[in-house]
Amino acid sequence: MRRRRGIMSERLKYELADELGFSHKVKDGDWGNITTREAGSLVRAAIERAEKQMGPRGSGPG
């Protein structure tokens, strides 16, 4: 079975982990060391960042 390529870049994941305060757990590349709560926080932060980059909601053509 072929492994799917991640949506988030490795750089972004490490940057968010640093901002969220658990980069020390993943510095060796082992993401299995984080808790479910930390993983959820990472995803939430990534979504917030993506939404911020897309701009204000509802400002599309129409």
Is 16 within the bounds of a domain? yes
Say how far apart CA 14 and CA 57 lie, in whole Å. 27
- Provide the domain limits for residue 39: 10-53
pLDDT at 58: 58
Confidence band of 62 (pLDDT split at 50, 70, 90): low
| 2-54 confidence digits (pLDDT tens) | 666 678 899 999 999 999 999 999 999 999 999 999 999 999 999 999 999 88
Is 62 within the bounds of a domain? no
A 10 A CB-CB count for 22 gives: 19
DSSP codes joined into one string, 23-42: HHHHTTS-GGGS-HHHHHHH
Question: Does pLDDT of 59 surpass 80?
Answer: no
Is 15 within the bounds of a domain? yes
pLDDT at 56: 78
Q: What's the whole-model pTM score?
A: 0.75
Is 4 within the bounds of a domain? no
